[in-house]
Every structure is written in C-alpha cells, then in structure tokens.
Structure 1
Amino acid sequence: MAGRSVVGFSLGFLVLLFSYCLISPATARFVVEKNSLTLISPDSIKGTHDSAIGNFGIPQYGGSMAGTVVYPKQNVKGCKDFQELGISFKAKPGSLPTFVLVNRGDCFFSLKVWNAQKAGASAVLVADDIEEPLITMDSPKEDSGSAKYIENITIPSALIDKDFGEKLKKAIDSGEMVNVNLDWREAVPHPDDRVEYELWTNSNDECGTKCDMLMEFVKNFKGPAQILEKGGYTQFTPHYITWYCPEAFTVSRQCKSQCINHGRYCAPDPEQDFRRGYEGKDVVIENLRQLCVFSVANESKKPWVWWDYVTDFQIRCPMKEKKYNKECADSVIKSLGLDNKKIEKCMGDPNADSKNPVLEEEQEAQVGKGSRGDVTILPTLVVNSRQYRGKLEKGAVVKAICSGFEETTEPSVCLSADIETNECLDNNGGCWHDKALNATACKDTFRGRVCECPLVDGVQFKGDGYRTCEAHGPGRCKINNGGCWHETRDGHTFSACVDTEGSKCQCPPGFKGDGVKSCEDIDECKEKKACQCPECSCKDTWGSYECTCSGDLLYIRDHDTCLSKQAAEPKSAWAAFWAIFIGLAIAAGGAYLIYKYRLRSYMDSEIRAIMAQYMPLDSQIEVPNHVSEDRA
C-alpha cells in the first residue's frame, strides 16, 4: 500500500545494485525526527504528544502553530479532492487555522496533504491505522505525476499514533472543540552561536524527479549558504553515500561497472542499465572529486567555493550532453582558481586495491551517531545533528538553520529577507571577462552568480559564459574588431571582420590566412593572379598591386590588358555621332519640303473653290438661265 511507504532510498538509489552490494551494517538505525503536539482542549484529553514531521511541505522550524482540528465526514483518508466534494477547510477571518485530521492508507501521504491544502487547510495530521512506533511520512520515490504537486505543498504535516488519533476523532464526534498547538521550536537544538549542518547529496543528475529537485535546491540555496559561511555563522560539510560490494562478487560485471577500489565504494548505475550510458563508478569518482574540492577549498579558508563548483558542474557538465567527465570537471576547477593537483592527490587512485581515506570516512559518517541516526534518504539535510524534515526549499531551510542559533545570537540574515551579495566582485565569479572592454559574463542574482555573455555597447556577445564570449551580429566589428585580425600600414587599415550576423573572420581581398590570428599579404604578381598581359609590368603592394604598361599603352584593370592611348579614344563614337546628326538633318529637310508642298496644294484648292463661286471655269459645264415670259 502506497500510504505505508516509510522513508525509502531516493534519487535513483532504489535498485540495491541488483543485490550485489550491501546497503548498511546490521546495526542500521533510522531516527524519526519529531516535534511536540500539545492538545489545549478539551480538558479531558489535554496534554503533550509526539508527532513525526513529514518529509515534505514546510515545517515551521523555530516556531509554533495553533489551530482547530476537524475530521471530515467524507473522504476520511483524504485520497480524493475535497473541493470536488464541496468541502472547504478555509478558516473564517479572526478564527484559528484549520488542522485537518485524516486516516492513513489507500494513497500517498503527500496526496492527502495536497488535497487538504487545496481545500484551505493550514496543517494536516495523519492518524496511523496500526499500533507501531512513529515513522517518517515520505513522498513517492520516483513518481513523476506526484512531483507536480509535491513541489507546491507549503503546509506542514505530521503523523500521530493510532491511539491518539482515536481520542481526537471521539472528541470531535461528540461536538467538542479540539484545539492543538504544533511546536517546532525544539525540533533543532541550538547549543551555541554557530550552526553546524551537513547535506547528503549526489552528483548524479539523471536519476529522476528527486534528482531534479535536489539540483534546483542546490542552485537556489547557494547564495544564502555562502553568506552564512563567509560570515562564520555556520559550518557546512557535504557528504555522499557509497556502498560496498561483497567480496565474493567484486569480479562480477555489475560490481566492476559500479565500484572503484576493487568493490569497496559503489553507486548504482545512473540509467540502471549496465550496457549503456554512464556507469555507477563514474558517479562515485565525481562524488569523490566534489568531496576533494570541498577539502581543498576548506584548506584555503574558502569552503563556500564548493557551492560554486557543484552548481557550475551541473550547468556545464550534464550527463544528457555527455559532458559528465574529468575534462569538463577540470575546466570548472580551473575557472574557480582551485589547485587541481591537490584535488587529484586527494582523490587518489580509483583502481588501487586499497582503501580510499576520503570515502572511508564517508561510509563511517553514514552510520548514525548519537541522536542523528543513519542517513538512508537522499537528499538529507542534518542541522545540529538533527535530520531536517520538509521540502528542500531555500526559505524553509534558511529558517530551519536559523532556528539552530541560540536566542539573540541569530545573524542579521535570519532577521531580514535581504540576503543578497555580489559574488562577481571576487575574480568575476569565475566567469569570462575582458579587461580591455571592462566587460564580464558574471551576473549577480539572489540565487547566486550566473555566467551569461553580456551586451556591450549594443552588441550581443555569445558563448558559454565561462571561457568564451564573442561579439555577434551588426556592430560586432567595432568591439575589438570582432576578435578578428586587423592591421594598419602607411595609413591603410585592413580588417578580417565581416559585420553581418553569423559571419566569421575572413581575410579581406589581397590577403590569406585564418582571419583570426593572422592575414598575410598575397603577392598577386608571383601568384599570377593579375597583370598578366605581355606588355604589363607588375609591382606588389600591401594588400594590392600596381600594374603599368610599356610605351604609350594604357592599363585597363578590369580586363587586365594594355591598350594604345589613341586606340583607346572613342573615334567610332564620333563617327556614329556625325552619321546620326547628318541623318537627322536630312530627315528634317525632307519633312520641311513635304510640309511646303502640302501647304501649297492646300492653298491652291482653296483659291479655286472661291473663284468657282463667281465665274465658271473652263472645266465646268454652263448652266442655262430659265426666264418666265408673259404672253398677251
């Protein structure tokens, strides 16, 4: 049953090396972190009881919360959406917050809390259904569907034992007002003015949902962690879990692929497939490297550099891009100014048939001492020897760490939300920078510094932000000539920069080379690329050439030929001009004669028409005159 899932092995450590590697000693002991639940009313059952803090949500470390307990008449296990059933737990203005009591079973603990939170609950109490010691409620191991809501759970939750749960239900059913107080003030001890905490983590970034949560937390928490460490308020130590392979199986294929030092230190295969991708031993080696990075940084009095390394390694060397390797790790180490030789010496030989001192200490630390208990969940945060319970979220973890200080000794970061710092002031945060341009890829944010190529004078730089940033697009040539070759001689300047998007450095005409470091002048005369006519004489110049012709010949560069200066004159053009001119004159004269002739013909016809009205012409027939005669 999903609801019975006690804390499991998270972040991909679900397959126990296929039964080849031992997990922990027979004396393994897991400690359940508890807080106090004080029943204020009714008087008949008032008193203080233990409750096990849930391993998700946000417990109010260093504080307390009072509320009224309600027990729903429907959906008593909380596995269905209360809102769809028309049930609301939202407290009325001025009243105490609502604590919802639900029964264990049938679904994940986290789903019960999520459904109650959506309906307005301020906290959730889960009543056990069997008599047993309290356990830690954990989130599903590798369920991608549940990951969508687990990250959004912000209310605290706790498991109570069966007997106490029955008493609460009975009091509620009888109409009593049940008021309780959840108290987390003593969940973290606070013996002095410095908090010691440790994070059990892993470098494997392809192990599922919880891996993604861990990686996101490390990036988000880096800023506050470094502020606390630089101020001397905390002492932080990273840890990594490893297992060993039984001696009888050290030569097996599984152990060889998952272990180093002849089976002494092992980690599960990232893909849980021995035939492809990265192997468990790759994870062990990188975990060892990160431990040594911390050790070397700690020796140099800068232990906080560990946070820079692990975040940069996540960004620059992911498994999915096939960069999870020594070469990429070395480039990160170099960018942070760490001594790589000391780190390699600390790591030792992973192929040696002997113990590794660093990993040996890790295996011993994994076994619980005092009140802490064994570490079996990844990730695990331990504050002042108490395991943190709740979501790995920056604000919640800062509050838990701050609750570990003695009263009145808390640093200012615990009393203020302003915990920003400018990490770019120290060596540009290990990012790319150009002194000449006074430009850097380092950007300081609340989540810590990021390396992103900048915008300089309107020109965008592109690159990985760590080692390279180059100007791109229009205007790039005005920024250090776009990183291309350029040179000036005798007042003439040539550049290999082409000011267009996506262009690369190209030597200009008259030069050859890579365009970046050098462009050499081409001797056009020797390479017979110009001035090749028989009458030509060639002289090479820087970036070009000069060509002259013998005698009175004139050099025509476009045709690479020599012509006579007289022959070169356009006589044929003048002849054509005169021919056209004469032709036009003749045409004009002919047109004039035709015009005069037509005009004369017209005048003659008009005169003849007028004269015909007054006298007959010879060519016309005489018309008889008809007279009327009178007779007597």
Structure 2
Amino acid sequence: MKLRVCLFVLIGLVVALPVSMARFVVEKNSLSITSPEKMKGTYDSAIGNFGIPQYGGSMAGNVVYPKDNNNGCKEFNHFSISFKSTPGALPTIVLLHRGSCFFALKVWNAQKAGASAVLVADDIDEPLITMDTPEEDGSSAQYIQNITIPSALIGKSFGEKLKDAISGGDMVNVNLDWREAVPHPDERVEYELWSNSNDECGVKCNMLMEFVKDFKGAAQILEKGGYTQFTPHYITWYCPQAFTLSKQCKSQCINHGRYCAPDPEQDFSTGYDGKDVVIENLRQLCVFKVANETATPWVWWDYVTDFQIRCPMKEKKYNKELSAGLDIKKIEKCIGDPDADSENLVLKQEQDAQIGKGSRGDVTILPTLVVNNRQYRGKLEKSAILKAICAGFEETTEPAVCLSGDLQTNECLTSNGGCWRDNAANITACKDTFRGRVCECPMVDGVQFKGDGYTTCEASGPGRCKINNGGCWHDARNGHAFSACSDDGGVRCQCPTGFSGDGVKNCEDIDECKEKKACQCPECSCKNTWGSYDCTCSGDLLYIKDHDACISKTASQGKSAWAAFWVILIGLVMAAGGAFLVYKYRIRQYMDSEIRAIMAQYMPLDGQVEVPNHVNDQRA
C-alpha cells in the first residue's frame, strides 16, 4: 500500500504544481469571420496541444456543422459524410461539440473525413482551456501521432452563434491566423525544450526521442549560424516531507528528497529507479553547461542522440560513460554529490525556471517547447517545430531554411506578390518572408530605390544610372550607346547632345545637317549620323570641327613647321640675350666692388670720413 501511495503522489506532482503556484497560460490564435456581414469580427480560440498548428501562417475556410455525429466521436464515413473540398473551393473547417469523447479523437475522425481544420465549441461557459491528448493507451496511440491538421477550442456562446448561422442557411467563412501566435521582435530566436531523460513513458517519450534525432541537424545549423539560442530544461519534482525517509521515495529522489522523478516502469521492484532519471537529467544539463562554456552549445544534441541510441533505459543499456568529447571532470563537478543534504544549484535553477514569468505560464506538460517565451502547442515534429521557430524571426531576417518550399509558399512567385517590378532590369520590391510577402523598394548594387513598393520604385542617389539607366531613355546602334540618365545625384533624364526628346521614353536623333547647326562653311559637305554628323571638305582641304572651317592640309603643315622654327629660334635668341645681360651686370658689380676697396686704402672716397695718421705725431 505504501508503494502505491508514494507512486500516486509523485505522478500527481508530474502533471501539476501546487495550486498556490500554478499558472497555466492558454496559447491562442486569432479567428476572424469574414462572412456573413452580421457576424464579422475577430474572436479568440485556444490552440490544441496536438496536430500541427500553422505557426506563422493563416488559413481561410468555410465552416461546416454536421447534422449527424456533431460531437465527432464516431467515424463520419458511417454517416456518408465527407468534408473534402472541391477544386477551387475553400478548405472545410468542421465545427464540433465538446463532450462524450477525447478532443484528439474528434479531430482525428474529422481529418479522416477530409477536414482541413476543426473548431470545438465548449459545452459550458468558462474561460478557454487547452485541448490536450488523453493518457496514452493502445487505442489512442494509434491516432494521436497521425493528426496533422490544426484545431482550436472556442467559447460556448460563440459556438452557438456559428451553429445558428449555418443552420439558418448562411455561408460562414472564417480565417484562422497564427501569424502573431509567436512573438517575432528581432533576428534571433530563443527557444527551450522541456523534457525528461526517461524513455519509458509511452507514446510521448517515443515522440520526444524521434524529434530530438530528426531535429538535431537543423538545430545545430541554426545554432552555429547564430540564428537561434537554444536551452534544454528538465522538470524535476520534490518528495513530500512525509515520505522523504521512505524506502520508495529514497529510490526516486536525490539530495534528500529535493529532486525526484517517477519510476520509469512505474514498478519499484524492477528496472531503473526515478533516481537514475534525475541523475541523468542533471548530467545532460551539465553537458550543456560545459559545452556552453566552450562556445559549442550544440554538442548537447550529439550527447542526447548518442544516449538514446547507446544507452536507452527501456533496453536496459543505461550507463554513465558518455561524455560527448567534453571534460568529464568538469561534468562530474557540475553534477556534485547526489547524496548531499543540500541544494543542487543546477537543479534548483531548473525548478525556478519551471515557474512562468512574464507572458509565459508554468511548464506543466511534458514535453514542452517554448519559443520566444511562448509555449508551443502541437505535435513535436521537425517541420512543425521549424515553422514555430521561423515564426519567431523578424520579417526579412529569416535564415534560408525558413523560406524553403517545405515550410512556406513563396508568394512572390505569383503575380510578383502584387508588388512593383521592373521586368527589363529583373528588379522587384517583393520580399518573401515566413509570414508572407512584403512590398519594399530594394537596394541594388548600392543604389536605393524609393517609392511605395506597390506601384512605384525609383532609383535615387549617385550611381542610379547603373541600374537600368535610372529609368531614362537609352539605346545602342552600330557600336555606339547613348543614355539620357544624368548621374549627378539628382533625378533627371535629359537627352544627350545630338538628341532631343523627354529623356524618359524617347530621344530622337537631331539632323544637324538639315537644321544647319554644323558644317556650314562653303567648302563643307555634311552627312548626318545617329547622335552626331560627319563633315568633309572638298579637294585637299581639312575640316576643323571647333572652328567649322576647312583649311589646306599642305599650307597648314608648312605654316606649322615654319611657325615652330621661328618660335624656337626667337626663344633661343631671347634666352642668349638675357643670359648676356645678366653676365654683364654681375661682372660689373664685382669689378666695382674690387676697385672701391683698393682705392679706399689710399684716399678717402666720397662719403667716407678721413682717418688721422698717428705715425708722424711727435708732440710731447
């Protein structure tokens, strides 16, 4: 009896925190009615925790309310009901009543009949709740993993309005929108995976193991590219004080009952204990911690996938030999002493992190993925999780993996997304994003286009003539090219010399010969060319374009030669004369200074004071 009581207590703590602490947040998507007119508006709906919600996207559809089997608990083919939409028609969204069977079974039956999505109307007036899967058994396991359509719970009164409108003959069209279900503030996505190393919990454990293996490659690419920041988390529970000294709880807990896990097989007499699960949870956390310290956090994915292959508990192969190439001593130091009567800092942080902060509620469902602090609802499947992560990037910052055809439709491929396009230059304002296209004038080769992105985009600034000639006229003939674009930083198209026109759509050649704008000398003969003209002179004459004149080739050559000769000769003469004058001036100055110095020794010169002679002075 004690064994069963302890097991019951631990399993109870698995699914719920203490009531005073628990805060479960219902994740919602938007539901808009587009017709009939009397019901137009936006309503809340709670995303189901199974199937594949279309994160980052939307779905327009026609709501159908079946007259028979309107709770969806039986297969619809028994009633000859099909929800498959005909080609060209909107997808079918089935409205069902809550009650009588599991949520997941209702959705599964509708999916098999061709439904694209399911709305379940609550049967009592209460705040919206999250539809979850049942406790797995043989029958439910067969269909839970195969549900691929989205589903949502709606309020009772809203469900009644939809039912009455459809029953009254109205065509009810709705738009289910998940584009804002995940915040997308910047170019990096932070996401967490809350799980457990126990692999013997049935369908959910198998789903988690398969997801980790399948998602490993994409996760490591995103992490290495700096696109994401991933953090693994593990839920642990505490053992109630009354049971901490019992043999059963000691086998499920470490650190004197502070951190516990349910027995993997739910049988204390065989196999591994919950204590083994807790220690392995701690080991995987320490692997991530040590890997993160070496700037290789993605090594966690290698360790966990290797553990699942080489050390699964359900195959009785569990051991503690794996290290993922990391420093084992650091990992063991991080793990600490499981038998110590003290807090383990790593696990204590995990328990604190389990309690919701901000917009995120407490983590109470395993496994749980949290993207940008918002809990993911739906199936743990590679493409579904990638959609949720890609929905967390700011528009136009998504990595290439998010824009692949497997995850979303490139709206720019159909009518250019309704955006501006220059077919001649193959330039478009349409940018494909995960949540849909945006029309934004592009920057091409350093040249920024400006406009509304829908009808106009014009190149602006220096260098704009490199891009489709700045939208101006241009043409090329016989090896000669002309453009009306002026690359002076302004926006103007002006026909080049030799042409006339608006500069944008046309520039026509000017016939300089006909308009007598050139080649007007008596000896000239004019011939018009595209963008210019040719002028020739009669006889042996040469045309000088700058002067619009014809001169003799011989005369011009003779005159040029004699002119050069006389210029050189006169230059030499002038240089020689100048040098001679300078020479005479310098010599004369020198001689004058020498003569004046000699004469100054014998007689005073003009302007000098006479110096008395003391040699002949004989006075006493």
Tell me if both proteins adopt one fold, taking TM over 0.5 as the criterion: yes
Residue in structure 2 matched with residue 82 of structure 1 by the alignment: 76
Alignment of 1:393 onto 2:381:
yes
CA separation in 1, counterparts of 2:141 and 2:117?
20
Task: Write the mapping of 1:426-445 to structure 2, written as runs, cut at 5 A.
Answer: none
Indicate the larger mover: 136-145 or 293-302.
136-145
CA separation in 2, counterparts of 1:263 and 1:101?
48
Are residues 95 and 24 of structure 1, via their aligned partners in 2, closer, same or farther at CA, if it must alter by over 3 Å? Answer: same
Residue in structure 1 matched with residue 123 of structure 2 by the alignment: 129
Q: What SS is found at the alignment partner of 1:177?
A: coil
Task: Write the mapping of 1:200-349 to structure 2, written as runs, cut at 5 A.
Answer: 200-326=194-320, 330=321, 332-333=322-323, 336-349=324-337
1:408 partner letter: T
Give the deviation of 1:260 after TM superposition: 0.1
Alignment of 1:404 onto 2:392:
yes
Give the deviation of 1:416 after TM superposition: 2.2
CA displacement 1:78-109 (0-9 Å, x = unmatched): 01111222100111111110000000011111
Count how many residue pairs are aligned between Structure 1 and Structure 2.
401
Give the deviation of 1:248 after TM superposition: 3.1
Asked if the contact 2:184–2:391 (Cα under 8 Å) also holds between the matched residues in 1, the reply is: yes
Asked if the contact 1:21–1:246 (Cα under 8 Å) also holds between the matched residues in 2, the reply is: no
Give the deviation of 1:404 after TM superposition: 0.2
CA displacement 1:175-210 (0-9 Å, x = unmatched): 001000000000000011100000001111111111
Give the deviation of 1:384 after TM superposition: 0.3
Asked if the contact 2:291–2:297 (Cα under 8 Å) also holds between the matched residues in 1, the reply is: yes
- Structure 1 runs of 4+ aligned residues shifted over 6 Å read 18-22
Q: What SS is found at the alignment partner of 2:251?
A: helix
2:279 partner letter: I
Asked if the contact 1:269–1:278 (Cα under 8 Å) also holds between the matched residues in 2, the reply is: yes
Alignment of 1:384 onto 2:372:
yes
2:17 partner letter: S
CA separation in 1, counterparts of 2:43 and 2:211?
32
Alignment of 1:197 onto 2:191:
yes
CA separation in 1, counterparts of 2:281 and 2:115?
41
Q: What SS is found at the alignment partner of 1:66?
A: strand
Are residues 21 and 145 of structure 1, via their aligned partners in 2, closer, same or farther at CA, if it must alter by over 3 Å? Answer: closer
Asked if the contact 1:22–1:244 (Cα under 8 Å) also holds between the matched residues in 2, the reply is: no
Are residues 389 and 21 of structure 1, via their aligned partners in 2, closer, same or farther at CA, if it must alter by over 3 Å? Answer: closer
Residue in structure 1 matched with residue 140 of structure 2 by the alignment: 146
Residue in structure 2 matched with residue 17 of structure 1 by the alignment: 10
CA separation in 1, counterparts of 2:44 and 2:104?
20
Are residues 166 and 369 of structure 1, via their aligned partners in 2, closer, same or farther at CA, if it must alter by over 3 Å? Answer: same
Asked if the contact 1:16–1:23 (Cα under 8 Å) also holds between the matched residues in 2, the reply is: no
CA separation in 2, counterparts of 1:279 and 1:300?
32
Residue in structure 2 matched with residue 366 of structure 1 by the alignment: 354
Asked if the contact 2:15–2:364 (Cα under 8 Å) also holds between the matched residues in 1, the reply is: no
CA separation in 1, counterparts of 2:253 and 2:7?
17
- Aligned-residue identity in percent: 79
Residue in structure 1 matched with residue 443 of structure 2 by the alignment: none
CA displacement 1:490-540 (0-9 Å, x = unmatched): xxxxxxxxxxxxxxxxxxxxxxxxxxxxxxxxxxxxxxxxxxxxxxxxxxx
Give the deviation of 1:57 after TM superposition: 0.7
CA separation in 2, counterparts of 1:251 and 1:358?
24
Let me know the Cα RMSD of the aligned residues.
1.7
Alignment of 1:47 onto 2:41:
yes
Asked if the contact 1:262–1:352 (Cα under 8 Å) also holds between the matched residues in 2, the reply is: yes
* Residue segments in structure 1 that go unaligned for 5+ positions in a row: 1-12, 420-632
CA separation in 2, counterparts of 1:52 and 1:114?
18
Asked if the contact 1:20–1:246 (Cα under 8 Å) also holds between the matched residues in 2, the reply is: no
CA displacement 1:40-81 (0-9 Å, x = unmatched): 111112111100001111111001000000000100000111
Task: Write the mapping of 1:47-126 to structure 2, written as runs, cut at 5 A.
Answer: 47-126=41-120
Give the deviation of 1:418 after TM superposition: 8.7
Q: What SS is found at the alignment partner of 1:44?
A: helix
Residue in structure 2 matched with residue 351 of structure 1 by the alignment: 339
Are residues 254 and 76 of structure 1, via their aligned partners in 2, closer, same or farther at CA, if it must alter by over 3 Å? Answer: same
Give the deviation of 1:21 after TM superposition: 9.0
CA separation in 2, counterparts of 1:416 and 1:51?
29
CA separation in 2, counterparts of 1:36 and 1:18?
35
Give the deviation of 1:247 after TM superposition: 2.6
CA separation in 2, counterparts of 1:74 and 1:381?
37
Are residues 19 and 211 of structure 1, via their aligned partners in 2, closer, same or farther at CA, if it must alter by over 3 Å? Answer: closer
CA separation in 1, counterparts of 2:52 and 2:7?
25
1:17 partner letter: L
Asked if the contact 1:22–1:243 (Cα under 8 Å) also holds between the matched residues in 2, the reply is: no
Are residues 59 and 22 of structure 1, via their aligned partners in 2, closer, same or farther at CA, if it must alter by over 3 Å? Answer: closer
Q: What SS is found at the alignment partner of 1:270?
A: coil
Asked if the contact 2:13–2:237 (Cα under 8 Å) also holds between the matched residues in 1, the reply is: no
Give the deviation of 1:313 after TM superposition: 0.2
Are residues 225 and 21 of structure 1, via their aligned partners in 2, closer, same or farther at CA, if it must alter by over 3 Å? Answer: closer
CA displacement 1:226-245 (0-9 Å, x = unmatched): 11111010000000001111
Are residues 15 and 311 of structure 1, via their aligned partners in 2, closer, same or farther at CA, if it must alter by over 3 Å? Answer: farther
Q: What SS is found at the alignment partner of 1:320?
A: helix
Q: What SS is found at the alignment partner of 2:23?
A: coil
Are residues 390 and 186 of structure 1, via their aligned partners in 2, closer, same or farther at CA, if it must alter by over 3 Å? Answer: same
Are residues 418 and 62 of structure 1, via their aligned partners in 2, closer, same or farther at CA, if it must alter by over 3 Å? Answer: closer
Q: What SS is found at the alignment partner of 1:181?
A: strand
Asked if the contact 2:71–2:97 (Cα under 8 Å) also holds between the matched residues in 1, the reply is: yes
Asked if the contact 2:47–2:152 (Cα under 8 Å) also holds between the matched residues in 1, the reply is: yes
CA separation in 1, counterparts of 2:395 and 2:38?
35
Give the deviation of 1:15 after TM superposition: 4.3
Q: What SS is found at the alignment partner of 1:338?
A: coil
CA separation in 1, counterparts of 2:7 and 2:306?
27
CA separation in 1, counterparts of 2:11 and 2:86?
54
CA separation in 1, counterparts of 2:7 and 2:309?
25
* Residue segments in structure 2 that go unaligned for 5+ positions in a row: 1-5, 408-620
